[in-house]
Structure 1
Amino acid sequence: MILNTGSRTDIPAYFSDWFYKRIEEGYVMVRNPYYPEQVTRYVLNPSVVDVLVFCTKNPQPMISRLERLSTYDMFWFVTITPYGREIEPFVPPKEKVIESFRQLSEMTGREKMSWRYDPVFITEKYSVDYHIACFAEMTEKLRGYTGQCVVSFLDLYEKTKRNFREARGVTRDEQERIIEAFAGIAEANGMQIHLCCENQALLRSHVDADGCLSQKVLERAIGCGLQVPKKKTAREACSCLLGADIGVYNTCGHGCLYCYANYDRKSVEENRKRHDVNSPLLIGHLKETDHVKEAQQKSFKDTQMRLFL
């Protein structure tokens, strides 16, 4: 199975102690975000967890103890954008995140690393030209440390429109100009751009829409084939193998205005007060009324199909 830690919150940045405690104890529990009394218990063991997938804006808290995950295969998304603190108030300086990215890549291997430059939005400050210049600068600094970059344009969810009132969509012409420039920069730096659920008209050399966490991407990362059961995806255009997510909405402390996973800052602060590093749940504890079920877990690895990188 594939265990995802990052679609609902940023576990490496804010809950690394808890995560390593879960690895040590060999299991984790997760509430269903829509039916909170339903709790699923997952075994944390490389015999059934094929890949640990992380998505973070600050991997640094995980790095010094990464050897504790040496028996697991991993895949890392690290988001690095050009936005300032008025947009991402609690994200570390970009230079530090880039430094952490490079350090993590040297420890795990570039094939296990993916840079996320998303979401892309346009304002008076963050113009098309601004994005192109920043992308070129960041790509040069990350050259050799990853072979892929995920790019997507801002989706105006209701939460986003409420918390980020200045936000607007990116026009088709702006998207074309950005992707055309990004494609050339990526090619010059040995990277492939993966678009996340974007218009197929944007596809070109070094730009695909095959999925940022597709089966092909994961197989290349772990050097092994996967026999993954077919199932309905969250979005029709998405071919990613998102797996089971152990995160919790309304818990990420970065405070990004465009975030879809947080309702508001107050909710985040209240939830984080309920975090206990010793609890099997990321937030709070088990209740007598909870219904706990054991997850059905098995390995998807095809040991007969070894990939040589």
Structure 2
Amino acid sequence: MNRIREGYFIFKNPYNAKQMSKVSLRPEDVTAIVFWTKNPAPFMKYLDELQDRGYRFYFQYTLNGYGPEMEPFLPSLEKRIETFKKLSEKIGKEKVIWRYDPIIFSNVHDGNFYREKFSYILNELKDFTTRVVISFVDEYRKATVNFKKLKEEEIEIYQPPEVIIKSFAAFMAKEAREAGLKIQSCAENMAFLPEVGIMPGKCIDADYIEKVFSLTLPEKLHLKDKSQRQECGCVVSKDVGIYDTCLHGCKYCYAGNYEAGRKNYEKHDPNSPLLIGKYDDENEQLSLF
């Protein structure tokens, strides 16, 4: 919020710490902000200020029903469902998108587990959102390391046969359709998903932004973001996230781990234009975005 109030932030390239860019956060320079979260409760007190300052925003809100064996430092599922409803009531259900991902099959989390959890959460949220986004886990390098640690805790990740995945996908599509929700996939290349009624989605979606905020965006903002992987349909945007800054400690995370997050959190300076660490503006070369 300090960066919002000052109208800019400094973004450090996660792959090249010497490469930094100054990004404008002035309302007139921001088409919309997309928040990804598993727990927006601490942030909700700032929503009125964001709206008063003229920002447009919507949330990608993950609720997947894992327990502390996978998400050890999150509030309970019931509390997060309650927060989802409050957020929806405050800003409108079309601005809170439910994410049911990543779907990870293991000896603890099988098809029965997911059918039960998906149905339960869907029933709770069907009046508080308009769409659900699903994806199946990808074995990124950092996630693979965490999967090995899970095995030590007797949770073994496995890839089920395609027929099992297709059956569960069809189940989710049917349940969502009957509840009146649109269901989409995120960065998936499984050919059978459209067959069962799950079309590719875009988390950062120019068409959706135009519809929700009654805008007409220039054609260049409808183009796919070339910096994203091929399966990703998101349009051009600026990602401001930094690896190893989350304290949720989710065991399947590909963006860091809890211990690294704790160390970085200790370095956090609310007055710095960087998310993590100090910034020496006399000795840095910046590009502008």
Instruction: Tell whether the structures are fold-level matches, with TM greater than 0.5.
Output: yes
2:207 partner letter = K
Partner of 2:18: 37
CA distance in 2, matches of 1:69, 1:274: 26
CA distance in 2, matches of 1:202, 1:293: 40
Percent identity over paired residues: 35
- The unaligned stretches of length 5 or more in structure 1 are 1-19, 296-309
Counting only pairs closer than 5 Å after superposition, residues 1-309 of structure 1 correspond to structure 2 as 20-70=1-51, 71-165=54-148, 166-198=156-188, 199-204=190-195, 206-229=197-220, 230=223, 231-241=225-235, 243-262=237-256, 264-287=257-280, 288-295=282-289
Alignment deviations for residues 149-205 of structure 1 (CA, whole Å, 9 cap, x no partner): 110001111211111223223431221111111111101111111111221211146
1:197 partner letter = A
CA distance in 2, matches of 1:63, 1:170: 39
CA distance in 2, matches of 1:110, 1:28: 29
CA distance in 2, matches of 1:242, 1:170: 34
Alignment deviations for residues 60-83 of structure 1 (CA, whole Å, 9 cap, x no partner): 011122111111110100100111
Alignment deviations for residues 225-251 of structure 1 (CA, whole Å, 9 cap, x no partner): 222423524111221126111221111
CA distance in 2, matches of 1:228, 1:94: 40
Greater alpha carbon shift after TM alignment, 231-240 vs 31-40: 231-240
CA distance in 2, matches of 1:87, 1:48: 38
Looking at secondary structure, tell me which structure has more helix per residue: 2
Preserved contact between residue 105 and residue 112 of structure 1 (Cα < 8 Å)? yes
1:31 partner letter = K
Greater alpha carbon shift after TM alignment, 266-275 vs 216-225: 216-225
- Note closer, same or farther for the CA distance 1:275–1:154 as it changes in structure 2 (3 Å cut): same
TM-score, with structure 2 as normaliser: 0.90
Kindly indicate whether structure 1 or structure 2 has the higher relative contact order, using CA contacts under 8 Å at least 6 residues apart. Answer: 1
Give the SS at the match of 1:115.
Answer: strand
TM-score, with structure 1 as normaliser: 0.84
Looking at secondary structure, tell me which structure has more strand per residue: 1
Give the SS at the match of 2:28.
Answer: coil
Residue-pair matches, total:
275
CA distance in 2, matches of 1:138, 1:201: 24
